[in-house]
Each structure stands twice: as C-alpha cells, then as structure tokens.
Amino acid sequence: MDILELVQANILTPVVLFFIFGIITARIKSDLKIPEAISEFLPIYLLAAIGLHGGLEMRKTGFESMLVPLLVAIGLSILMTLYHYQILKRLGKFNIFDSYALASTYGAVGAVTFSVGLSFLKNQGITSEGYITAILATLEPIAFIIAIFLTNMAVSKQTQIKKQTFVKNKDNTDLDTINVEQKKKLFQVLRESITGKAIVILLGSIIIGYAIDIDGFAPIKIVFDDLFVGAIVIFLIEMGIIAGHRLDDIKKGGVFLIGFALAIPTINGIIGVLIATYLGLSIGGAVMYGLLFASASFIAAPAVLRHAIPQAKPSLYITSALGITFPYIIMILLPIMLILSTTFHNMESINLGSYFVEAWK
Amino acid sequence: MKLYNAKLLTITCEILAQKNVIDILHKHHISGYTFYEVGGSGAKGIRGQGFQNEKNIKIEVILQEEKLSDVLEEIARTLFSDYAIITYVSDVGVIRTEKFV
C-alpha cells in the first residue's frame, strides 16, 4: 500500500480522530474533561492489558528468543540517550540539565505510545512478539538511570572544580560526602523507578499472563482484550486535551526542539525496525521494536526527572514529547514504520531466496 | 482558655516537590503536617491542570519559632530555584502547645 494512503487510513481511525478531537476541544476552551479517577485508572488498565497480552504471547515463544533482542535494545537505548545529549548540548545549545532531561525523555519508552502501536497493529490484523512488552518494562528505567548518572557526574565535576579554586589546600571530606549523597540519590531513583506503579503493574501482568495461559485468560478477555482499543480512545481524548492546552508552549521551545522532536523519533524508529528485521522479528514485531526507540515518555519521565534533575524545565520535555512527538508517531510514523518493516522483510526474503538459488547451483 | 503562640508555615508547591518538603520537615523532627490538593495561577502560569504529576498541593505545618528559621532556610536553599513554590508564615494561637514541639 502507498504510504500516503496508509497514513490517511490511519488518521481516519477512532484512536487518532479522538486524539485530534481532544486537541480541538482544548483549543476552543471547552470545559470537557475526563473525570480524574478515570484518567488515573486508564494508564493502569492499559499497562495491565499490555502486560497480560505480552505474558500470553511469551508463553508461546518462550524466553530464549527474547535474550538477544533484549540485550540489543538495552545497548541501543544507552547509545541513543548519549547521542541525543550530544545533539541537544552541541547543536541545540541547551544547558546541561535540559539536555540530559530531554535526552532521557527521548531515550525512555512511551507506554501510551506502545499501546497505540498495539491497537494500530490490531487494526491491521498483524501480530507481534509478546516479549517486546517485557523489553518495554526493562527499558523503562534504563534511560533515566543513565541520564541521572551522567548528570550527577557532571555536577560533581563542576563542584570539584569550584572547590579546588576556592580552597587551595583541598579538603576531601566535603567531596566525599557529596559523592555519597549522589550515590544515595542514584540508588533512590533506581529504586523508585523500579517500584514505580508503571513497572510494577506491567511486570505483574506479564507474569500473571504467562501463568494463566489462554484458558485462564478467556474469562477476562472481554475486559482486557475486547475493550482495549475503546479504552485507548477514551484515554486519548484526555491526552488530546492536555496536548491542546500546551500547544502555545511549543513555540517557546523553539524551532530546534520541534525539529529534534520530529527527526529523532524517525531516525530511532527506522534504526529499530532495521535491527529488528535483522534479528528475525516478524513484521509487526519489528514495528513495535522500532516504536520502543521512536517513542518518548511523557507520563513516567516527568515524575522521575523532576526529582532526579530538578534544574531541568519540565515544560520543555513534557511539551515536546506529548505535543509534538506523540501526535507525529501515532498519525504518521506508525504507518511509515509498518511499510518500511514490510519492505525490509520482503527484501530479506528475496535476498535469502536468491541465496538459496545460488546455493543450489 | 489560654492560647499559646506558635507559627503556621504554609507551603504551596507542585506535587513533585511535596516529598522534598516533607523530607526537610522530618529532618527537623517535625512529624505533624496537613496537605491538600489545590489549583491556581502563578508565575509559571495556570497550575493544577493536566497530568496527575502536575498538580499543586498546600502543606500546613504548625511549629515553634525556634525551628522555623532553620526549616525555612533549608526549603529556600534547596527548593526555591527549581520548583514552583510559595512559602509564607503566620502567627497562630494553639491550645496544646506540647503537640507542636
């Protein structure tokens, strides 16, 4: 199918239309909003549904096939966070705190984006490997930990330089206490992001999904499978409203940030699809794998980063992730990644085919 | 009934600074406080809308004057530059002064 055609078809799905609808209601200053309890409940529901789905699928595929994609994903996530930082710091001229915060927002995985990706594939009738959900749960804390670790290093280096210039016969005890405090902070962030509700519900549901198998899933299927897309639709009204209220902030971020928020997901997503194809994931699996790297976190990231890097401006990273990257991914990048994934898979099978022909001769 | 003098410290801040404020209170051995969710507008625009993490809260602490300046100093030093936060102090009268040490 033509890319434009697929993008067009994708925009005319309830998920995307209701998101746009949410933005419009915010722009016309309507008082429409989703009740607070529901908008708090929905992310938990979505993560539980994703987790169960992943657990069920993992039972079919087993753990062994997951190891290589998982390790590659961790490596990629670290690399990407580092190069985001270099781009933001050197080209974007952001300060060190904003650079690290933005770098890890884009290095982290967006669970909402992930749910929309699953519903997009469901809509196309394509399945994906369940273990990608487990990779999602593993990747979630990693980008934060790297960014926080690097920020702490940078800050302690700065204080060290300051100390040395102020106090000539340097007193190491002060520096030691700073280091100990930073280690404590790093450990605390690590603990908080692992015991945070997103990871806990995701991992819990994966394990439960794995344990109950298809038979156990049958009685709850109506809630966690059939209602899944409908729940995303309701949640996206809320996301649209919040994004709509923030549209004015986008201008404050500047042209560079807009460009970054569009280019980085595209590049990362395509790299992800390519690598997944190379690793032998299915067409749908490669799209979801690419989505892990394309997406930016706008719910989990602010909660962690506000504590870990309080000097960074949250309006920058929330606005760019929710206001620019998220709409771009669900409207345009998802169909593009699907087409690329299909093309890469076809190319590979052709190559393999010709290889076999060569071998026969 | 006799009323004893005490200080009421009120802190209005973004919800993600709540933990920091309460840690500071604990550090100064203050275990009693009240907090509730609020909304409003300030230097950082309209507050209390959007994500759960962007809510605002108001924390009220009654304490003796001796502790006040240390607590205020630490809040100002560690939180003022990075968080949306407003702090003020008022005089209040309490009946059971031993509850607010």
Q: Which residue of B has its CA nearest to A307?
A: B16
Sheet with B34-38, edge to edge strand ranges = B34-38, B56-63, B4-14, B85-94
Q: Is B29 in a helix, a strand, or coil?
A: coil
Helices (H), A28-66: 36-61
Domains of chain B, CATH where assigned: 4-92 (3.30.70.120)
> A1 or A79: which carries more pLDDT confidence?
A79
* Residue A361 placed within a domain: no
Q: Which residue of B has its CA nearest to A40?
A: B52
> Residue with structure tokens 């009323």?
B3
pLDDT tens column, A272-287: 999 999 999 999 999 9
CB contacts of B50 in chain A (<8 Å) are 242, 245-246
* Residue A166 placed within a domain: yes
- Helix (H) or strand (E) segment spanning residue B59: strand B56-63
* Residue A40 placed within a domain: yes
The structure's pTM equals 0.84
- Alpha carbon of B82: minimum distance to chain A alpha carbons (Å): 5
Domain residues for the domain of A98 are 3-349
Q: Which residue of A has its CA nearest to B79?
A: A310
B83 interfacial to chain A (CB closer than 8 Å): yes
pLDDT tens column, A141-157: 787 777 777 777 777 77
pLDDT number for residue A58: 84
Find the mean pLDDT for residues A89-116: 90
Q: Given its phi and psi angles, is residue A277 left (phi above 0), alpha (psi -120 to 50 degrees) or beta?
A: alpha
* Residue A221 placed within a domain: yes
pLDDT tens column, B34-89: 999 998 887 766 666 677 778 899 999 999 988 999 999 999 999 998 888 999 99
B53 interfacial to chain A (CB closer than 8 Å): yes
Q: Is the pLDDT of residue A53 over 60?
A: yes
The CATH number of whichever domain residue A252 belongs to comes to: 1.20.1530
The CA distance from A19 to A170, in Å, is 57
Q: What is the mean pLDDT of chain A?
A: 86
* Residue A35 placed within a domain: yes
pLDDT number for residue A167: 57
pLDDT number for residue A36: 86
Residue A125: HSE in the Cβ half-sphere, 13 Å Cα cutoff: 0
Please tell me the total count of domains within chain A.
1
Kindly report the backbone phi and psi dihedral angles of residue A244, in degrees, each rounded to the nearest multiple of 5, phi listed first: -60, -40
ipTM above 0.90, yes or no: no
pLDDT number for residue A80: 92
* Residue A338 placed within a domain: yes
pLDDT number for residue B100: 82
pLDDT number for residue A63: 76
User: Is there a contact between A253 and A74 (Cβ–Cβ < 8 Å)?
Assistant: no
pLDDT number for residue B26: 93
Find the mean pLDDT for residues A124-138: 89
Q: Is the pLDDT of residue A237 over 60?
A: yes
Of B19, B49, B81, Cβ closest to residue A245: B49
pLDDT tens column, A246-299: 888 888 878 999 999 999 999 999 999 999 999 999 999 999 999 999 999 888
Q: Given its phi and psi angles, is residue A22 left (phi above 0), alpha (psi -120 to 50 degrees) or beta?
A: alpha
User: Most B CBs within 10 Å: which of A42, A306, A313, as the mutation test of the B interface?
Assistant: A306
- Alpha carbon of B51: minimum distance to chain A alpha carbons (Å): 8
Chain-chain contact of B51 with A310 (C-beta, under 8 angstroms):
no
* Residue A215 placed within a domain: yes
Transcribe A306-339 into DSSP letters.
Answer: HHH-TTS-HHHHHIIIIIIIHHHIIIIIHHHHHH
Q: pLDDT band at B8, cuts 50/70/90?
A: very high
Q: Is A79 in a helix, a strand, or coil?
A: helix
